[in-house]
Structure 1
Amino acid sequence: MSNSFVLVINSGSSSLKFAVIDSVSGDAIVSGLGECFGLPEAVISWKHNGEKVEESIDQPDNHHQHAINRIVALMDSLGFTADLVAIGHRIVHGGEKFTSTVRITETVTAEIEKLADLAPLHNPAGAIGIRAAMAAFPSLPQFAVFDTAFHQTMPEKAFTGAISNELYTEYGIRRYGFHGTSHYFVSREAAKMLNKPVEESSFISVHLGNGASVCAISNGQSVDTSMGFTPLSGLMMGTRCGDLDPGIIEFLMKKGWSQEKVFDALNKKSGFLGVSGITSDARGVLEAMEEGHEGAKLAFEVFTYRVAKYIGSYMIPLDHLDAVIFTGGIGENSLPIRSEILRNLKLLGFVEDEKANADARFGASGIVAKSELLGAVAMVIPTNEEFVIAQQSVELL
């Protein structure tokens, strides 16, 4: 059995994803999910050797701790405990404090909790997961990998908001960006595919899923990204609005909307769901569009147009372009969405290879379009954020 297994934990406010990753190959030996925490239907499930097991969590509270305890028992029963070398935690927000992966101490955990203002749903849950894992695996080194860390290389002109400087100095209001582990991973994989050092490569990474973001990557470093102070800005997403005139918030509040109602609408009732009026799932939107649903057609057009617009604008921070990289659940699998984005990039010279684009789905990577004008390609690369967390944890060992 390999001696480089890392248990990767991703704690959400009402869920906990976990996986045992081989830090050399990137393979997930076991993967699982605890969900519906805080509700009577809370469950934990996992897959191992193609077999899926699910069981209810019958404790009335502290579901995170129970899920971790169940993972401990699972590791023991499968014989993995002795082969675990580290535990890696995905933490959403590192602010300006954390610019790279760090080994977890009580001080680090307290700092993650202090950053809860910047990620109120995610950071407290991440800290709960850390404390539960520290109690369950006291002898294993544990590491925090931050979604925001990759973007800490952005120049000041890219992360500074055009607002009073005291809002930055007092409250830390600036562009932070997210999906950093995904953008980091696919840019390294793209450089390998092109047989070019990542330090000499320029990419526009397009992570499209229920959350979506674009990142300009120059010489291996993030130089701009579409998500901002929170994951609400940038692209249209499953239920998030993306870029929006902030005056709309004042307008709605003057109409009697509460602050809570406004932000619930922007975070949970916008995006694909809001524009289509039927679903937040891109697959459902495409099916409805094929059946002639006008709202679904409009959602498809708004989404693909906005993605293409961001790709075009992210030529600006780069001195050349090697590739546009599609990744994430939608970016890896949705042929119609990729095709339409590429059609919207016609002025940049991209010509789709229809067969290659159809082939590069469901776990397959590949070059799907070329631009003679730019000397660049468009490619699909499945992301593997857990592998990044495992690798960076082992590197720090």
Structure 2
Amino acid sequence: MTLLEVNDLSIRYAVDDGSAVHASDDVNFSVEPGETYGLVGESGCGKTTLAKSLVHLLDDNGYIEDGEVWFETTLPQWADENGDPKQSVIDDPDKPVRADGKTDLAQLNSKQIRDIRWRDIAIIPQSAMNALNPVYKVGDQIVEAILRHEPETTAEEAHERARDLLERVGIEPDRADDYAHQFSGGMKQRAVIAMAMACGPDLLIADEPTTALDVIIQDRILEELEALQEEFGVSILVISHDISVMAEICDRMAVMYGGKVMESGRTEEIFDATANPYTLGLKNSFPTITSKDQDLVSIPGTPPTLRDPDEGCRFRERCPFAVEECHAAHPPMYDVATADAEGRAVESTDRRAHTTACYRIDELEQIRTDAINESTWTDQTIESR
């Protein structure tokens, strides 16, 4: 059974002149129990906004305009003695609850979503230092989260669990009595991971978990996340601009650009059978140890403005393969396997399938070949095939 199901999620940021920034548009993906799912893309593509929206942590001018976020949970006041939603709640049209036990997080108010955070969904924010209160001991901050969701737990039990959690992520238990400024960067990141696991959530959102850390510490943090997943069975939603991180830890992933999902599928499919020009461009810009002669090629141009964007493909102005159709409307998601097998584009809504938003999916082999060449991206006179 799917743990998280995001349907056509669109998020906006209101601007003073009355317009809106389209941070994400019609985003669809799902996360399975025990799975690591990744959202990757350039800065400003909407991936962090998307993650924050799941637990209502957007800035004051941010809001969900449309879409659903179905999550495998039931609010305590809506649950029966077995933790399942009461039939009266399921039958109530004013309650965002389905018979399969999922709740639409997008429709919850601020009080209700606080019952979900930490208990069911925990988040590791980008900046560990900003996530820790500088005037509270690290252990006390973990204890606060435990007592908020488990009032039956005593303070002594919560403190002991906080020490155990710190030890579990490689920090001496006695450091629970220290303040955040006494921790190194890697220790802060571990402490935030311990805090996120305090209430045994089903989903852990890791937003750029290795940013600003050296490569050795990065590797250890990733190993720690994988170990926690194996031990507790938690699902992980990873947000990153680093496709090498995604390749290492993700089971499935989605590539975002300009608030849109450009390609999604199993990680090995994304890397071994890349099917979108933007993803091909991303791969060109990252080094690989498998080819010593590889030259890094950046994608020319800059990301589009997302303030009231037009209807065309978001990547078309930077894409050397764009055709007239790309200017008319953003392409739907096409099934890559069908195109490879039959040479024609078939739209797909299957979350498990390898899909791409590209009108030229029937020319994939030629596009993959051309995308390797630097001249494809630098020669502005290239003619679309």
Bigger relative CO (Cα 8 Å, ≥ 6 apart)? 2
TM-score bracket for this pair, using the shorter chain length: under 0.3
- Higher helix content, 1 or 2: 1
Select the structure of larger CA radius of gyration.
2
TM-score, normalized by length of structure 2? Answer: 0.28
